[in-house]
A = this chain, B = another copy of it.
């Protein structure tokens, strides 16, 4: 058996994270990302002529490409497993089901390209991905329990246009509740997609209801990766690959930024 690095020696690595910068598209429900240099070179010069620059970073846990912890969503006061939210939330965050409870994922992922199944580069805003869409996109691809399922909508191509990408007025494509149940039946470790919310967002509706989050996070205990940069994988017609999902281990947080990688 070859060693891991030997197998990967000629692999191609795809960066699945959107770049983070002040003003980037994000949900208005979360603290806006901001990166500001604090010390610049020349501000404080050591005796030997050396200088170090640094920065301040302000963000939310659901900003940029990120993983939703199970603690993110509750239904009728209960988190996944029937845990009462008020018993585990406090000034140190969540003592259970936080993002620190998510073990880094290094394993196989399949990418179901629903946009390609429709013959378009990007699904239209407000389009609801259905079980039938997933069946068609999954044709010929084996899906095994405990692995990752990603859905391709092509939406990450809109990243340069924040007004379109965030879908505040126009909406965004994504799975409906039926698609969520389709996914859950396959028992994935995690699912992911390109939009800010792993949901179908109807035009003009915003995040008024998030049924897919309820099904996956609360009922099924399946983590969600959002705002993934998948269009390069879609262009490469990649259907399966090694996926790395290692969110920052922020103790007690309901989500955390991540830079997922696909290795083919």
Contact = CB atoms under 8 A, between A and B. Distances in A.
Interface of A: 1-5, 7-9, 11, 13, 15, 17-22, 29-32, 34-44, 46-62, 64, 71-77, 79, 85-86, 89-94, 100, 103-104, 106-108, 208-211, 213-214, 240-242, 244, 246-255, 257-261, 263-264
B52 A72 contact: yes
B35 A32 contact: no
A264 to B, nearest CB: 8
9 contacts: A4-B8, A5-B107, A35-B251, A41-B86, A50-B75, A51-B85, A53-B72, A104-B261, A246-B259
Contacts of A103: 13, 15
A61 B52 contact: no
- Integer count of this chain's copies in the complex: 4
A21 B209 contact: no
Nearest to A22: B92
B104 A259 contact: yes
Contacts of A40: 40, 85, 89-91
Contacts of A248: 17, 20, 64, 248, 257, 259
Given A40-B90, A106-B244, 14 more contacts: A4-B11, A4-B264, A5-B242, A8-B106, A15-B103, A19-B249, A20-B251, A21-B252, A29-B54, A30-B54, A31-B58, A43-B91, A57-B253, A248-B259
A106 to B, nearest CB: 5
Nearest to A90: B43
Contact of A38 (B91, B210, B242): B91
Contact of A104 (B13, B19, B31, B257): B13
Contacts of A244: 106, 244, 246, 261
B246 A246 contact: yes
A209 B45 CA distance: 10
